[in-house]
Amino acid sequence: MSYNILIVDDSGSMRKVLLKTLRLSGFDLGECYEASNGRQALEVLEGKWVDLILSDVHMPEMDGIEFLRSLRQIEFFKNTPVVFVTTEANEDRLRTLMELGAGGYVRKPFRPEEIRALLSQVMGEPHGGLAGESSEGCDF
């Protein structure tokens, strides 16, 4: 099964790194959409279906927390898994994300294996079954 994803991060290079990480991890990608902040992400979602959202927390205009709050107000996206890839160290803010329904988070810098394991769990894949091992070892 291929997954349509939305990557939300104000850094274009980080969006590319995340996309590359998904590919290296063997994640079966369908359509891939990008947004540079939460407001733009909501605009992208007006006409798209996604199975998964990867988002940063710290972004201009609308940060990840505001984005998740707004997303959960839209019936169509109430249950869409959202995973955060962030530098956020404030445990209260991370707890808020989880209380708002985030599927989890990975702290930057990250290893592809961390993202693969979390996404396998969030997407309900047995035994980390989203992907095989990548032959290319790298940390991001």
DSSP string spanning 103-130?
-EEEESS--HHHHHHHHHHHTT-GGGTT
In a domain, 99, yes or no: yes
Say which amino acid occupies 105. Answer: Y
Do 43 and 70 fall within a single domain? yes
Question: What proportion of the chain, given as a percentage, has pLDDT over 70?
Answer: 89
Q: What is the pLDDT of residues 116-134, one digit of tens each?
A: 899 989 988 764 444 444 3
Q: What is the pLDDT of residues 50-109, one digit of tens each?
A: 999 999 999 999 999 999 999 999 999 999 999 999 999 899 999 999 999 999 999 999
Do 46 and 69 fall within a single domain? yes
In a domain, 16, yes or no: no
pLDDT value, residue 136: 43
Domain that holds residue 65: 31-50+59-76
Do 106 and 69 fall within a single domain? no
pLDDT value, residue 126: 60
Q: What is the pLDDT of residues 18-51, one digit of tens each?
A: 999 998 888 889 999 999 999 999 999 998 999 9
Closest CA to 50 of 32, 37, 35, 63: 32
In a domain, 36, yes or no: yes
For CA atoms 13, 136, 32, 84, give the dihedral sign: negative
In a domain, 120, yes or no: yes
Quick check: 37 and 62 in contact, CB under 8 A?
yes
In a domain, 43, yes or no: yes
